[in-house]
Amino acid sequence: PYSFKDNVVPTVNAFSLEANANLTIPIKINVPANAQPGGFYTSVLVSNQPSVDEESQSSVTKGGTKVISRIGTLFFIRVNGVAQESGILEDLRISSPTKDSSSYMFNILFKNDGNVHLVPYGWVTITDVFGKMVGKVPVDAYFAMPKSVRYRVVQWNAPFLFGKYEATVQLNRGYGSDLVDSKTVTFWAIPVKETSMIVLGLLVLYMLYRFFSMRFKLVSR
C-alpha cells in the first residue's frame, strides 16, 4: 500500500557509459492529486546490459550464463498533509554472551502503527544492584517502516561482570521530542571460567582443611 513505483519516472531509460565516466540521471516524481498524506517508498535500479561480444564470451566460459550487475537507490517520499505518526517500544530482550565473547546483545522491538516511516533513537543504560551505572550504549537512529515491527540489535562490550544487573532502554519514537518509551530487563552475569576457578579454589581449601583436621589436633598449653 505504500509503493510509489508507478509515480517515479527516470528521464533516461537506457544509456552507454565509458569506463571511469559519470552520469547524472534526473528522476521525476509525480504525486497524484488524490494521494493521501503520509509516506511512500520505492527504488530506482540501474543494471548493465552486456555487449554482444561479452555475451558470446560468457556463453563459452560460463556455460551460457549471463552475469548482470545492478545497483539502486531508495526513495523515501512524504506527501504533505496530516500524516498518521504512531509508534511504540514493544519489547526489550537480552542475549547472553557466548563463552568466547563478553558482548551482550540488546534486542529492541519497535512497532510503527502509522502511515509514515519513523526514526527512533535513544540509549541503553546498564546499572548494577546498587544502582551504579556500569555502561551506556547509544541506539543510533534507524528507519522503522509504516505498519511494521522492526528489531534493532545493540551490542555492548561489557567489562568484567558478576552479579545482578538491570538494562533500561529509553527510546525516542522519532516524532515529538518528548515522546520517549522506556523498558527494563534484569539479568545475571556469572562468568563460568572465573566462577569455576573460585569454586575449585574453595574446594581445594576445604579438602586441605579436612585433611589436616583429621590428622592433627591443636592442643593449647
Label residue 51 exposed, middle or buried (CB < 10 Å: 0-12, 13-18, 19+): exposed
Helix, strand or coil, per DSSP, at residue 56: helix
CA 98 to chain centre: 19
| Residues whose CB is less than 8 angstroms from the CB of residue 205 and which lie 6 or more positions away in sequence, other chains included | none
pLDDT tens series, the chain, 221 aa:
889 999 999 999 899 888 899 989 999 999 999 999 999 999 999 998 876 665 555 554 556 677 788 999 999 999 999 989 999 999 999 987 766 567 899 999 999 999 999 999 999 999 999 999 999 999 999 999 999 999 999 999 888 888 899 999 999 999 877 899 999 999 988 765 555 566 667 676 777 777 667 766 666 66
Cell numbers 546483545 correspond to: 105
Strand partners, 166: 127, 186
What predicted TM-score, i.e. pTM, was given to this entire model? 0.72
Grid cell locating 127: 546499572
